[in-house]
Structure 1
Amino acid sequence: MKNVGIRCAVLFLTLADSRRMANDHPERGDVPGWVMITLMSAVLVAALLALAGPALESMFNQAMDKVGS
């Protein structure tokens, strides 16, 4: 009779763990990984824009000059 409380606790923990495992879908994704990929992509775009910005601006201005004349 002394072990009834321990057995109930073990049963409760087992059921709670199995319920958690059922809700934890294996293909739900890796949120921190996607956040890192998004940030790295944003930094890459900003770096490319900083390097190619003046050339793109001059190309745009030349195109506008040709259209306007």
Structure 2
Amino acid sequence: MSRWSRIVDRLSTEDRGDVPGWVLITLMTAGLVIVIWALAGPALSGVFEQAIDRVTGF
């Protein structure tokens, strides 16, 4: 097999990847974001409110 044939053969094959794996990674990432947001949301809200109070207090 010539070098050109190998290049054409390699380019002509479809490689779609592991779609179920990407779906799982996406769902797990979304789940982690939701959990972290639920845990840190009130604390971040408090920090934000304190910062706004300090800025508007001047």
TM-score, normalised to structure 1, is 0.61
Which residue number corresponds to residue 38 of structure 2? Answer: 50
Instruction: Work out the CA distance in 1 between the residues paired with 2:48 and 2:34.
Output: 19
Q: What residue number does 1:63 align with? A: 51
* Superposed structure 1 runs of 4+ greater than 4 Å apart: none
Q: Which runs of 5+ in 1 are unaligned?
A: 1-22
CA distance in 2, matches of 1:24, 1:46: 38
TM-score norm. by structure 2 comes to 0.71
Gap regions ≥5 residues in structure 2: 1-11
Partner of 1:39: 27
Greater radius of gyration (CA): 1
